[in-house]
Chains A and B, each alone.
Chain A
């Protein structure tokens, strides 16, 4: 019964970890996952995804989900 949490780019460096599994007890949404995993406040410009779809902080998470946190994206080219 766990949720896989992943961190990318500057968010990964800030929280000091890349991936972990957390117990889903007491966790109902994306913001709960962030709090449980990092113990720090959510940055304003943080983006999140559940199972590779962009998600809002209040979006529900379920056992087995992969929840990712990352900064605004900078792909492509000028």
Chain B
């Protein structure tokens, strides 16, 4: 289980390949891999978005992301889990977050991946500030998904 916070742009697909190759214990042990990648759009709530700053409370973010990942590992039979979350300055098309789960079977892989992305949105202390043509604005939380 790995949780990383990155200040610089990253390629989630490359990170997933690297992670899988580095975890030699995984080889032959998983039959399903699920991946969620969240990417910055160039629009939000009827405004163009030129850039975004993602502020966070560093040690608390790490702690809570690790806790969410540990919860997923204990709730479902999964072989491994990778969470990478950006902070700092982002441009449209930059990946914001990546969650990858390796499991013996797809039900656990899908469920754990969904759990991690849904939980981190409401528990990890991140705040988005968008730069729009009308100026900077803090993004309000979205209503909780049904």
Report which of B59, B121, B129, B140 forms a contact with A75, defined as CB distance below 8 A. B121
Give the Cβ gap from A56 to chain B, nearest Cβ, in Å: 16
The total number of A-B Cβ pairs within 8 Å is 76
* A10 smallest CB distance to B (angstroms): 5
Cβ of B32 within 8 Å of any chain A Cβ, yes or no, is: no
CB distance from A78 to the nearest CB of B (A): 7
Task: Give the interface residue-count category, chain B.
Answer: 20 to 34
Q: Is the CB of A71 within 8 A of B138?
A: yes
**Which B residues lie within 8 Å of A72 (CB)?**
140-141
A48 CB to closest chain B CB (Å) equals: 11
Q: A9–B120 Cα gap in the complex (Å)?
A: 18
Contact yes or no, A70 B57, CB < 8 A: yes
CA distance A10 to B55 in the complex (A): 10
A-B pairs with beta carbons under 8 Å apart, 15 shown: A6-B57, A49-B57, A68-B60, A73-B123, A73-B124, A74-B138, A74-B140, A75-B121, A75-B125, A76-B38, A76-B97, A76-B120, A76-B126, A78-B38, A78-B142
Residues on B lying within 8 angstroms of A by beta carbon are 37-41, 54-57, 59-61, 63-64, 85, 96-97, 117, 120-129, 138-142
